[in-house]
Structure 1
Amino acid sequence: MSFFQFSDPAFFFLLLLLPILAWWAGRMGPEAAVRFSSTALVKAVSRHRHSRPGKFLFGLRLLALAALIAALARPQIGRMNDSIEAEGIDIVVTLDLSGSMRALDLSTRDDIVTRLDAAKRVVEDFIGKRE
């Protein structure tokens, strides 16, 4: 079974600062490049305080900060290991696969077989008796 967790979830408290940052940035506004003696001249030209691309880019910056905070929390995916206690005996079977095992010097009731074929039959019989 797989699981998803964060190694340092306390970093998610930093997400609470994002709305405060957005509010503060909205109140500050950019500094004027040209200062006018009268705002009546500017009202006709500028109806909005921020332009649409500026709002979009600021939203992307907030999203990037949220992703950075999520990365600081170190997301992790893993698998759970369940331990099952069982009793038994481990048996290891080893077979020689060298060229000498191809020698045709063993015989069964019907024909002559290689040493490897005879060893395989013995192992199959052994496993069959264990099940």
Structure 2
Amino acid sequence: MFAREAVTEEDIHRVLAAVRLDDLVSHLPHGLDTPIGVEGLQLSGGERQRLAVARALLADWQVLVVVEVTSALDGVTSDEVYNALRVYCAGKTLVIIAHRLPRIDPTDQVVLVDQGAGTVTPGSRAG
């Protein structure tokens, strides 16, 4: 089982496109069936991050916590991954822990922590 019982190949390709891994998969010799090594060692750090996000987005969950989920990505790809998170997490709880504020909108709350003290800003826009 990839992430949940009812996941289809179409679902997989849709989420891979959302996190910009569709081009990589299209160039693999056996597509989705291509071995990528133990713990994905044949992938770059950014590809591993995006694959982890894709798997999480295909899972059946109500709360998702991501930590430094785009730390190995360039700005454009990072924005696209955060957009995928926003779309796939609609109606669910998404907690983003990051040193750089993502450009994800809308957010219900932003908590900025500086030297252990947190400031909650309801209805803030991150970015």
TM-score range, shorter chain: under 0.3
Q: TM-score, normalised by structure 2?
A: 0.21
Higher Rg: 1
Bigger helix share: 1
Higher relative contact order (CA closer than 8 Å, sequence separation 6+): 1
Bigger strand share: 2
